[in-house]
Amino acid sequence: MSTAAIFGSYVLSRKDGAQDVLRDHWVLIEGKRIAAITRDKPHADQVYDRPGRFVLPGLLNLHNHCFSEAVARSHSEDGNGRKNNQSIVYTVLLPLTKRGAEILSAQERLAVARLGILQLLKGGATTVMEPFRNSIPEMFDAAEEMGIRFYGAPYLFSTSDAKAGSDGVVQYSGDDGAADMATWDALYQRWNNRGDGRISLAMSPHATDTCGPDLLKACATRARELGVPITTHLAQSHAEVETIGKRYGGRTPAEYLDWLGLLAPDLLAAHCVASTDDDLKLMAARGATVLNCPRVFARRGVTAAFSRFAEHGVRTVVGTDGYNMDLLGELNAASIISKTSSQRGDVANSPELIESVTATAAGVIKRPDLGVIVPGATADLTVVDLSHPHLQPHYDPRRVLVALANRANIDQVIVDGRVLVDMGRYARGDEAAITSAGAAAIRKIWELPEAREVLAG
């Protein structure tokens, strides 16, 4: 059994169920497990003795979109690509990922997937939950190959061809529910528990407005048979709220899911920015989780405040959505946006936000062995270099991590005791080659006539 010893000027451990920051300790890894946290330097096959490091439990990013983020990158900034619609979901993301998956070869799709996994690892994540079109199964291949802990969430749609016209009105067409469930089942049979257990599936009906009652109930039934989490997009725009209200007797999206039995502790609901206070109270009562991704909304002038969800008693974790995949940067945004919107400096504090992507996130997916540094836990670690000038001096490593750090300060990412990122670089492949191949594949999508039209300005 291989062993590794990692020195931390700070180590985020646990004491009496709460965070405990230890000074000048070693974390000893034996195989895939954390064997000890000790002041004394242990004997180990590999020794990483780098002062100034903050050793954290492996960070969990439970809402992310690799493929669609790359398709939209830099095109949808400054309000571009919206065509009078409040969201780029129906103008850019859904139509172009659908066409992109069709025109790219399996090798090109794999290249994009590798590019996305590389970004996630360099952004500090050891565990990710990735919703994506089921026509891009290469996401699983890339995740297994590159070593990340991966909850793949291939989409299910009642209507997979939702598009916004030039007037911004979304037209819904197609009927794919049965086929998508069959595809999900096949992917589950092929991939669940692969990669020495690092590969899992989540049930992912796309959103309330693209999934009808029958499909949503079928998704919940199947997910609960298998014990897998359910994730969906909920109230991510006012247009979605209006659509659901018209279809289902004035119900809000949260009330719609509650009516169908999905609003429960196994539901991970992304965004929820158009939820009412009563919706959030209902979600808290049902034990559902909000996946808060503040930056993707901030770039279009919409506030998605972590503090609003948390203050309503909703379990809230932070994810990156399809935006940059920098989890430390996302924590910083969650802090600042919450403080600005509430006009209070004490909300969304640093320990709370770090907890949201460690122990709280691990609890959401029923993995108490993740998100903590304690003997016996799985050896997933994120190590941040706090020796940079912009992080020195500091009084509290947690505060400087959230307030000032970003992906450039990630030193190591370790999954199952395997070092995947070391000294900020991917340790198991050629970063330049991965980046070049992924970018070339995305540019083929940009050359499509429909892409040129929607991305023109």
Residue pLDDT tens, the chain, 457 long: 899 999 999 999 999 999 999 999 999 999 999 999 999 999 999 999 999 999 999 999 999 999 998 988 887 778 776 665 557 788 888 889 999 999 999 999 999 999 999 999 999 999 999 999 999 999 999 999 999 999 999 999 998 777 777 677 888 887 889 999 999 999 999 999 999 999 999 999 999 999 999 999 999 999 999 999 999 999 999 999 999 999 999 999 999 999 999 999 999 999 999 999 999 999 999 999 999 999 999 988 899 999 999 999 999 999 999 888 999 999 999 999 999 999 999 999 999 999 999 999 999 999 999 999 999 999 999 999 999 999 999 999 999 999 999 999 999 999 999 999 999 999 999 999 999 999 999 999 999 998 888 887 5
Residue 82: the pLDDT is 62
- Cα 367 to Cα 39, 70, 193: the distances in Å are 27, 30, 14
Architecture of domain 59-364: Alpha-Beta Barrel (3.20)
Contact 120, 62 (CB under 8 A): no
Amino acid making up residue 328: L
Q: Pick the closest to residue 41 from 32, 28, 57, 56 (CA basis).
A: 28
Helix (H) or strand (E) holding 33, with range, is strand 33-38
Residue 84: the pLDDT is 58
Residue 113: the pLDDT is 98
Residue 70 backbone zone (phi > 0: left; psi -120 to 50: alpha; other: beta): alpha
Compute the distance between CA of residue 58 and CA of residue 254 in angstroms, rounded to an integer: 31
Residue 300: the pLDDT is 84
Contact 341, 303 (CB under 8 A): yes
Residue 93: the pLDDT is 84
State the alpha helices, DSSP H only, in 392-448.
Answer: 397-404, 431-446
Name the token pair of 165: 């016209």
Beta bridge partners of residue 269, listed in sequence order: 232, 290
Residue 323: the pLDDT is 82
Compute the distance between CA of residue 120 and CA of residue 421 in angstroms, rounded to an integer: 11
DSSP 219: H
DSSP one-letter string for 112-156:
HHHHHHHHHHHTTEEEEEEEE-TT-THHHHHHHHHT-EEEEEEEE
Contact 231, 202 (CB under 8 A): yes
Residue 151: the pLDDT is 98
Residue 85: the pLDDT is 53
DSSP 64: B
Compute the distance between CA of residue 174 and CA of residue 180 in angstroms, rounded to an integer: 12
Contact 202, 230 (CB under 8 A): yes
Topology (CATH level 3) of domain 3-58+380-426: Urease, subunit C; domain 1 (2.30.40)
Maximum Cα interatomic distance, the chain, rounded to a whole number of Å: 66
- Cα 237 to Cα 85, 170, 243, 279, 393: the distances in Å are 10, 12, 10, 14, 42
Contact 204, 156 (CB under 8 A): yes
One fold for 3-58+380-426 and 59-364: no
Compute the distance between CA of residue 79 and CA of residue 95 in angstroms, rounded to an integer: 18
Would you kindly state where each structural domain of the chain is located, as residue ranges? Answer: 3-58+380-426, 59-364
